[in-house]
Structure 1
Amino acid sequence: MMSSLPADFRSFLSSVGRVFAVFFRQGRKARRTRFFFLFSFLPVAVSLVIKFNQIFSGKPGREGGYLFTNLIMLFYLQMIILILALFYGTSVCSEEVEGKTLPYLITRPVPKAAVVLGKYAAYTAVMTGMVTLGLVFSFLVLNLDRLLDLSLYGQLGRYVGALILGLMAYGAFFTFFGSSLKRSIFFGLLFSFGWENVIQYFPGSTQRLAIAHYLKSFLPATSPGRFSFLTFRLEPTRPGFALLMLFGITAACLALACLFFSKKEYSFED
């Protein structure tokens, strides 16, 4: 099938693949990855504390699904994936410029757009591994008494899918920030914990201006009579349209990041 593609496009895809292989290997071994791995496992520690407390106190407490949605998933969706996507996304372009290593990549020759797409894919894969592992452990710990309930794993799949889509969309958005803004982390923090964590709770169509709105549209419905802060005031979008919007945001941000990074001239003088 690859042989039917134009030679230039095959060469471009090959460049993306080589960049992905290099930075996926480096990303797994990087010091910051170890730090973020521990950070993404904080909900697992919280889940264990809650479960041990329920076991040794002899009190049943809240059911696992309720605790997972209102505590663990809230932490993942509104903090962990935002922080991971911010630091990995902005570094796709900025670390090559700040580290003055860009000339070594583009003199191979590797197109700048291939550098952006390859690194984005590599870092998204690293983030996905960290987040998925922690999420699954947390979910299983809090639902130890329901592990034979097969419907439980359908819910788990929706939670995992929402987080992966979130990493893709936020990662692409912050990759665009890193390619176009000098103080990308500062503006990324303002966006993450200002705009995203506020606008999603506005009533009506305003909440659709937040990426988080489309992610929460995939979450399982809350049981009647049960309050969920995560889905408070949520007027969910149809899953098909939400998926289309997330893919559209991802594609548009990556295209803009590639354009900015390819057209911008960088000075590497000491």
Structure 2
Amino acid sequence: MSAASSAPRLSFLQSCGRVFSIFFAFGRRSPRFKLYLVLSQMPVVIALFAQVNQVFQRQAMQSPMLFFSRGIMSFDLQFLVLLLVLFYGTSVCLEEVEGRTLMYLTTRPVPKAAVILGKYAAYVLFLAVMINVGVILAFLVLNIRSLGTGAAYPVLFQFMGVLTLAILAYTAFFTLLGTLSKRALALGLMFSFGWEAVVQYFPGATQRFTIAHYLKSLLPSQSTTGGLSFLTYRLEPTAPLLAVAVLLLLTVVFLTAACLVFTHKDFILSTD
């Protein structure tokens, strides 16, 4: 009897946890993680540049929260999150196919769905930590003179919640895309900066066919932040609880579909 067959069989959740721990440990030491970590701190650079500019102009920033909501959050939601999530989400499956390591994962005594869910969880954790740390640091830099008031902290936490939901939903979608096509990166770019970037501003019910619509429905009101005019332009918001439910449902649907495709699809590994 082989060692593999004599070893106790792991439950599905244990298999997911094993895959998660492997890719979390491996991923945080990879050069890609370090590169993405640097990129995720771009909001901090923008905030520092804004503060330095105010020093040279010899005047204090009149509305740090206005700059934070219109500048930092717009940059994060409309560009940074989409870019980083695209790279991580599509790589859940594609990096194994392109690296010809898929056979080693799929021949292990773990369900194929556990491979997808474990890697997804590891990459979501990476993204959530990287992006939210950048947002927190940018917030602290911009509000350095009023950190003791505490009035803006609820808005910060609300922004972080929206970003985390964005990471969950978009990563699940791009994970599915990576199982469906080897051209997932190109398709993801078209989806992110084509469909999502344009259709979210369509009037009427059409904007509800974008993930961005439900994320923007959860943003703080303009009266709270003094900004968000660009993000909420033409927005016909969905009720917050319904928006959260839709985002979580989409995440579950995308992940379920990705697991089914990964389980039943015969991947052709390149021999080039």
Does the aligned pair in 2 maintain the 1:158–1:219 contact within 8 Å? Answer: yes
Residue 94 of structure 1: aligned partner: 94
CA distance in 2, matches of 1:133, 1:268: 37
Q: Which residue of 1 aligns with 2:233?
A: 232
Residues 69 and 228, structure 1, Cα contact 8 Å, conserved in 2: no
Q: Which residue of 2 is the match for residue 49 of structure 1?
A: 49
Please say if residues 16 and 117 of structure 1, whose CA atoms lie closer than 8 Å, have aligned partners that are also in contact. yes
Q: Distance in 2 between matches of 1:139 and 1:233?
A: 27
Contact 2:51 2:61 in 1 (8 A): no
How many Å separate the matches in 2 of 1:111 and 1:39? Answer: 34
User: Is 1:250 aligned to residue 251 of structure 2?
Assistant: yes
Contact 2:174 2:188 (C-alpha < 8 Å) held by counterparts:
yes
Q: CA shift at 1:245, angstroms?
A: 0.3
Q: CA deviation at 1:56?
A: 3.7
Which residue of the partner structure matches residue 163 of structure 1? 163
In 2, Cα distance between equivalents of 1:17 and 1:39: 28
* Contact preservation (8 Å) 2:155, 2:220: yes
Unmatched 5+ stretches in structure 2: 1-8
Verify: 1:106 aligned to 2:106, yes or no: yes
1:126 pairs with 2:126: yes
1:123-145 Cα offsets, whole Å, 9 max, x none, are 00011111011000001111122
* Aligned-CA RMSD value: 1.8
The residue number in structure 2 matching 1:219 is 219
Which residue number corresponds to residue 3 of structure 1? none
| Alpha-carbon distance in 2 for matches of 1:197, 1:185 | 16
The 8 Å contact of residues 43 and 72 in structure 1, kept in 2 or not, is answered as yes
Change (3 A) 1:209 1:267: closer
Q: Which amino acid aligns with 2:229?
A: S
SS of 1:235's partner is coil
Q: Which segment drifts farther, 204-213 or 189-198?
A: 204-213
Structure 1 residues 76-102: Cα deviation after superposition (integer angstroms, max 9, x where no partner): 001111011111101101111111212
Q: Is residue 92–residue 116 contact of structure 1 (8 Å, CA) maintained in 2?
A: yes
Distance apart, 1:22 and its partner CA: 0.6
Q: Any gaps of 5 or more consecutive residues in structure 1?
A: 1-8
Task: Write the mapping of 1:1-270 to structure 2, written as runs, cut at 5 A.
Answer: 11-223=11-223, 228-268=229-269, 270=271
Query: For residues 200 and 269 of structure 1, do their structure 2 counterparts lie closer, same or farther at Cα, with a shift above 3 Å needed?
Result: closer
Is the 8 Å Cα contact of residues 165 and 246 (structure 1) preserved in structure 2?
Answer: yes
Aligned to 2:6: none
CA shift, 1:269, in A, is 6.8
1:109 and 1:239 mapped to 2: Cα distance?
A: 42
Task: For 1:61 and 1:99, locate their aligned partners in 2 and report how far apart those are by CA, in whole Å.
Answer: 49
CA 1:107–1:26 in structure 2 vs 1: closer, same or farther (change >3 Å)?
same
Q: Which residue does 1:5 correspond to in 2?
A: none
- 1:79 and 1:17 mapped to 2: Cα distance? 31
Structure 1 CA distance for aligned equivalents of residues 62 and 27 of structure 2: 38
Helix, strand or coil at the partner of 1:237? coil
Deviation at 1:55, TM superposition (A): 2.9
Deviations 1:99-119 (A, max 9, x none): 121222222211110000000
Please give the TM-score of this superposition, normalised by the length of structure 1: 0.93
* Contact 1:146–1:152 under 8 Å retained in 2: no
Kindly provide the amino acid, as one letter, of the partner of residue 233 in structure 2.
F
State the identity %: 50
Secondary structure, aligned partner of 1:144: coil
Of 125-134 and 220-229, deviating more is 220-229
CA distance in 1, matches of 2:181, 2:270: 20
- Equivalent-residue separation in structure 2 for 1:227 and 1:247 (angstroms): 24
Aligned to 1:29, the other structure's residue is in SS state coil
Matched position secondary structure for 1:86? helix
